[in-house]
A = this chain, B = another copy of it.
Amino acid sequence: MSETEISTLGEFGLIDRLTRDFPLQNSSSKKGVGDDAAVLDYKDKEVLVTTDLLLEGIHFDVRYVPLKHLGYKAAVVNFSDIYAMNGTPRQITVSLGLSSRFTVEHVEALYSGIRLACERYGVDLVGGDTSASATGLVISITCIGEGEKGKIVYRSGAQPTDLLCVSGDLGAAYMGLQLLERENSVAAASGLPDFQPDFAGKEYILERQLKPEARKDIIEELNKAGIQPTSMMDVSDGLSSELLHICKASGVGCRVYEDKIPIDYQTACMAEEFNMNLVTAALNGGEDYELLFTVPLTDHDRVKALPGVSVIGYITKPELGAALVTRDGQELPLKAQGWNAFYSSETK
């Protein structure tokens, strides 16, 4: 790979080079990159806005996360927030802070991942800001989407007796991160520059960590099945933390059955290898980007028929609190021990 210092292109040259391969795909994108602001036209839809800030050393480690994957993930986690409102992502702005060790080729690799995500999900890049950084890589992405009036799903609509549902499986992204961190330590200890970690049989948990997908398919399935969730959010901080958000916003309690939480085989194997509590990993792991949602009890049969959706519990009156029902029938209060950037910076 050739190495081109960013200062040879300058800020505007870099932006031109990075954004030229992003043709606009949506009729709502009237004007993208190249003016003081992007211009969007949403007609009679409602506009959804979400934003994420990713910082080197806190949210990612470039020693074991390829830049293309990092770009893909940074975009997809924002799309996930728009789907979690029952909306469709349409535009993103991407702001980057780049320290002097990043070359044009590095930034192009990052953007190739962003471009792949934009192509797959039909989203337009419409703006951003690119700057030098005194230390490390900073990625700030804002995603704008649209929702049908009256169809947007908030965290606040869950009602007692509603069924609690989650898509896919949980804990895999967290176990993937544990694996990456271990292999990175082993590689460092080996002292061999060409040390090759052995990831055979662990591809799924790695992919869940490095290249997560947003559950566009689940939103489409729910829509086709005529199911309008009463509340919804995506699982980014961990199931426990998200359940508490829904309970707080909706003014309800909940019961989640330990044996109903969907967990993949590779996640279970890895937890055993690391001697970790599997349910703790699934409850608190985070970064799964699955959809957690509630539906009225009357939708029971329809939601059970959906592939890739598990019913894991139900909503209760608020005075019953939020609790996990263990395999032996005990009730343990749920606590938000999810991934928290303010703790992780101190405890890692």
Contact = CB atoms under 8 A, between A and B. Distances in A.
A329 to B, nearest CB: 31
Contact of A35 (B128, B154, B341): B154
Contacts of A7: 342-343, 346
A144 interface: yes
Interface residues of A, number: 76
A59 interface: yes
Interface stretch (A129-137, A190-198, A266-274): A129-137
A175 interface: no
A105 interface: no
A135 B132 contact: no
A345 B38 contact: no
Contact of A49 (B44, B142, B249): B142
A52 to B, nearest CB: 5
A59 B132 CA distance: 9
Interface in A79-120: 80-82, 84-85, 87, 91, 93, 95-97, 100
Which of the listed residues A35, A93, A345 has the most CB atoms from chain B within 10 Å of its own CB? Answer: A35
24 contacts: A7-B342, A30-B46, A35-B85, A36-B85, A36-B233, A37-B50, A37-B87, A38-B48, A38-B50, A39-B47, A47-B47, A49-B144, A50-B93, A51-B142, A52-B129, A55-B138, A56-B134, A97-B138, A100-B346, A131-B341, A131-B342, A132-B344, A132-B345, A135-B136
